[in-house]
């Protein structure tokens, strides 16, 4: 019996560790995309594209581990919630990787249109926010602790507000002829990808809360 319990725990920790590695990769992708935009560094942008392939492979691997665990171990209670939450979260992590890859592509387009102009500093602040959200979610997942996740969910509203301000600023710059329409659109799409990453981090927070407490917050107001 003890051997069986130890084996289950080992498989759970294997899934958890691979999820956290996947999370680390998407954080690196986000950083590289922003740095590549600011520093006009094509090598950093290319590293994002390469990491995206690894993130996709990690999604398939973790998905397979979770499905095998469900089929072979027939988990219940907290073990079942862990696996179901992990399956939800790998979808969000993969989509975060897609958004970071989109950021890198927008940076390439921006450089092609106008290298001499710098992005608004708000982009850096948005990236700091979403990376902080992601790290707190991953830490909560690692420790089975949801105590900080309501704050993460609330931070998504802050990211949304920063995106709206960037959108307004870029539209005004374009209308007033201060910046080309093409370069403004590149920055808007870049910022929108960051905003979507915040949405996925929020979704992951809800998944971890379900894992820890068994409470499903989807389609509800999680801050109430």
- Average of per-residue pLDDT across 156-170: 95
Terminal Cα distance for the chain, rounded: 42
Residue ranges of the domains in the chain?
2-213
pLDDT number for residue 105: 96
- Average of per-residue pLDDT across 79-94: 97
Contacts of 16 (CB under 8 A, 6+ apart): 82, 86, 141, 142
- pTM score of the predicted model: 0.92
pLDDT number for residue 116: 55
- Average of per-residue pLDDT across 63-80: 95
CA pair distance 144, 213, nearest whole angstrom = 10
CATH 1.20.58.220 fits 2-213, yes or no: yes
CA separation, residue 172 to residues 38, 113, 148, 179, 184 (Å):
21, 18, 37, 9, 10
The confidence band for 13, taking pLDDT boundaries of 50, 70 and 90, is very high
pLDDT tens digits, residue range 109-134? 888 876 555 555 579 999 999 999 99
């Amino acid at each position: 019996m003890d051997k069986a319990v130890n084996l289950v725990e080992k498989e759970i920790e294997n899934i958890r560790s691979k999820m956290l590695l996947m999370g680390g990769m998407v954080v690196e992708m986000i950083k590289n995309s922003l740095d590549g935009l600011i520093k006009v560094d094509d090598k950093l942008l290319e590293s994002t594209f390469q990491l995206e392939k690894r993130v996709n492979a990690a999604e398939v691997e973790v998905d397979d581990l979770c499905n095998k665990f469900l089929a072979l171990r027939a988990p219940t209670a907290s073990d079942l919630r862990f696996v179901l939450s992990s399956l939800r979260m790998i979808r969000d992590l993969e989509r975060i990787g897609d958004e970071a890859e989109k950021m890198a592509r927008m940076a390439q387009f921006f450089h092609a249109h106008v290298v001499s102009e710098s992005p608004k500093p708000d982009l850096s602040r948005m990236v700091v926010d979403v990376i902080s959200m992601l790290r707190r979610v991953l830490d909560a997942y690692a420790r089975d602790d949801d105590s900080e996740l309501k704050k993460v969910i609330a931070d998504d509203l802050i990211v949304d507000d920063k995106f709206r301000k960037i959108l307004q600023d870029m539209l005004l710059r374009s209308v007033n002829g201060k910046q080309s329409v093409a370069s403004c659109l590149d920055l808007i799409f870049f910022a929108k990808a960051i905003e979507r990453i915040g949405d996925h981090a929020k979704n992951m927070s809800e998944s971890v809360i379900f894992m820890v407490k068994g409470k499903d917050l989807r389609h509800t107001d999680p801050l109430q």
